[in-house]
Chain A
Amino acid sequence: MALPATVQEDLIRPQSVNDPPVIDLHGLSVAFGRRPILKNLRGDLRGRAIGLLGPNGAGKTTLIHTLLGFHPPSAGTAQIFGYDIIDQAKQIKSLIGYMPERDSFIAKMTAVHFVRLMGELSGLPPEAALERAHEALFYVGLGESRYRKLETYSLGMKQLAKLAQAIVHGPKLIFLDEPTNGLDPPARLRMIKLIREIRDSGQAHILLSSHLLVDVEECCDEILILRDGQIAVYCNLEEERKSNRKFLMLETRGDQKKFVEALANLGCEYAISSDTRLKVVLQEGIEVRDLYRLAAETGVQLRRLSYKRDSLEDIFLKAMENGYGGL
């Protein structure tokens, strides 16, 4: 099953600016009857793992369904890897895998038969589909129970079987709709681990829809927060993490006045929180060791130093409080 080296290199190559975006939204709107669900979504997403966040009813699942061609857009369109979701739906579907939110399976089938059928429907020849069905089930951890009927599976096992059917044909983009729903902590950890492994393999992009911030934070490098069918926030977590490294929280003992003067002379911005605490924004070219040097020179003890960054929870809550912001 190993691919030729050139093909693998091509697959692992990171998404560059010249490549078509993973998902490109062009004023995408969806309405059910007269009820608008998604409103004029715009922007392009290029991350390896894209998190789709939002409160219940924000339009996350509708966006996934529209990208899969289940709902026709009422206005605008979207592209996946440069293919239009309206005109080139079949090409798109051959590149994606989908793990639905709800319990979905084909009754009276063993897991291996089910995953094989899904592989064949994706275009794999029967022998290859059977081989990959076994491999996918082993990969997700259902190897030992692959000959059991799906009806006898626990909720966690069904979730894993759904993941196996989504990856059996080796898609380039995997839509995961609430993959950790209803899982107990060990099963959730296993699912998160699998998602991160797929992401880190560089072979597939992931669109992870969840209302669990911690899941998205652990897996994704780019997030899109939806609120009332509109983009509330787009955030590149990777960039955010990098930029947030320059925000420091310091706890000091001693003459803080001298220390902040020295900081100002160095060109750093600061904000005093209390007699013993202050926030510092490091300027380009200034390192943490410079702060230790200044502290030593001004006779101040640095009792605690931590990077202060907005957690995903902060970003999410701000998005819910504030207005809408496109990409």
Chain B
Amino acid sequence: MAVYEQTYKRYAGRLTPEWSRFLIIPRHSYRAIFNSKLFTAFFVICFLPLLVEAILIYLHHNINAIAIMQINVRELVPIDAFFFQTFINIQGGFAFFVALLIGPPLVSRDLRNNALPLYLCRPFSRTEYVMGKMSVVLILLSAMTWVPQLLLFLFQAYLEGFTWFKTNLWMVSAIVIGGVVWILLLALLSQTISALVKWRVVASGALLAVFFIPAVFGEFLNLVFQTHWGNILSLGALIKNVTAGLFGTFDRVAGMVQITDFNDNVVREIAVLEPPLWASWAALFVISAICLALLSWRVKAYEVVR
């Protein structure tokens, strides 16, 4: 089918491996995503906390800098599990906003323009389509959450020495799992909402609502029933608990409630407990399963009218 020949010719060349074809979607999507200068600027800003983190690690090991600033950074900001947990939570917050910007239009745009038959009439399955669309979010969020955290962990290990690395090696799994769970949840939720709602603005609003409305309702339950089981409805709280569990900083006792008599004398103190870790994991699992079921229902070449 050469341009000058103007005839129809079949293709008889080499084909790409089937397993790699889902990666075509993120490759083409990034071109459109990074066309927006505003998004590119925001994405760069997302790396500022990582820069601060890197500077703090560097200052820990630079005696001259400590002497000039006359601050004992080692005592002020110790580099331990809490340090990495804090920064992974900060990056998680930025990741949410990035997912909010890039996630909603991914599937909804295809649904609005009837593009799904064009994907699915090719040797490209529905699973590959969903994997491809989720990869757009996952790859970008990985680049700003667990991947740089892991590099900074290695930077700290390089500066601190092998003994520190050996003692804190367990944190690698906490960084990776904590980061992956969060971005996987963001990717699943954003794609599910994108598959349910055809309009980008509505989809973005729905994603915000999914995060904040149950959280507010959960907080209301917490206040009314003097419990923290309402947190099971809050995605943010679930992730916070799971991450704390991974970094070994999880404490079930969230606070104490004092029960007083009419004379304001404390009669009894009751510990307010966070839901156990297994409950948080189970809730995340159920949410993910619902998302997958909804995606499977929505991502079809054509809607069948029964």
A interface list, Cβ under 8 A from B: 1-4, 7, 11, 32-35, 65, 68-71, 90-91, 93-94, 96-98, 100, 102-109, 113, 117-118, 120-125, 128, 132, 134-136, 138-139, 143, 165, 167, 169-172, 175, 197-198, 201, 203-204
Contact = CB atoms under 8 A, between A and B. Distances in A.
Contacts of B121: 68, 70, 93, 96-98, 100, 175
Given A65-B301, A70-B302, A105-B118, 12 more contacts: A1-B1, A71-B302, A93-B123, A98-B118, A104-B115, A107-B113, A108-B109, A123-B15, A124-B13, A125-B13, A132-B11, A170-B1
Contact of B10 (A70, A93, A107, A172): A172
B16 A135 contact: no
B108 to A, nearest CB: 10
B75 interface: no
A93 B122 contact: yes
B2 interface: yes
Contacts of B12: 3-4, 7, 170
Interface string B1-28: 1110011111111111010010010001
Contact of A165 (B112, B113, B118): B118
Contacts of A3: 9-10, 12
Main secondary structure of the interface of B (DSSP, over half): loop
A201 B8 contact: yes
B53 interface: no
B239 to A, nearest CB: 32
Nearest to A30: B304
27 contacts: A2-B2, A3-B9, A32-B304, A35-B306, A70-B117, A70-B121, A71-B302, A90-B18, A91-B123, A94-B122, A105-B113, A106-B113, A106-B118, A117-B24, A118-B122, A120-B16, A121-B122, A122-B122, A122-B123, A123-B18, A124-B13, A124-B16, A134-B3, A165-B118, A170-B1, A170-B8, A170-B11
A70 B300 contact: yes
Given A93-B123, A128-B13, A104 B28 contact: no
B120 interface: yes
A90 B109 CA distance: 25
Contact of B306 (A33, A171, A172): A33
B14 A125 contact: yes
B2 A170 contact: no
B115 A167 contact: no
B155 interface: no
Given A106-B118, A138-B3, A121 B302 contact: no
Nearest to A143: B3
Contacts of B13: 124-125, 128
Contacts of B114: 100, 102-104
A100 B305 contact: no
B111 to A, nearest CB: 11
A102 B121 CA distance: 14
Nearest to A92: B123
A37 B108 CA distance: 29
A203 B8 contact: yes
B10 A118 contact: no
A250 B92 CA distance: 87
B126 to A, nearest CB: 10
Interface in B75-96: none
Interface residues of B, number: 41
Contact of B118 (A118, A175, A204): A118
B82 to A, nearest CB: 43
Contacts of A139: 1, 6-8
B9 A197 contact: no
Interface in B3-60: 3, 6-16, 18, 21, 24, 28, 31-32
A157 B45 CA distance: 41
A-B pairs, top 10 by smallest CB distance, nearest first, are: A33-B306, A170-B11, A170-B10, A123-B15, A98-B121, A104-B114, A70-B301, A135-B1, A94-B123, A201-B8
Contacts of A96: 121
A105 B112 CA distance: 10
A102 B15 CA distance: 29
Contact of A197 (B7, B31, B118): B7
Contacts of A91: 123
A7 B112 CA distance: 41
A2 B123 CA distance: 24
Interface string B95-116: 0000000000000011011110
Contacts of B14: 125, 128
A169 B123 CA distance: 11
Given A123-B15, A203-B8, A32 B123 contact: no
Nearest to B15: A123
A87 to B, nearest CB: 14
A97 B11 CA distance: 12
B304 A71 contact: yes
B121 to A, nearest CB: 4
Contacts of A171: 10
A34 B10 CA distance: 41
B297 interface: no
Contacts of A2: 2, 9
B10 A1 contact: no
Contacts of B16: 120, 123-125
A11 B178 CA distance: 54
B11 A169 contact: yes
Given A100-B114, A104-B118, A135-B3, A170 B9 contact: yes
B7 to A, nearest CB: 6
Contacts of B118: 98, 100, 104-106, 118, 165
A192 B146 CA distance: 55
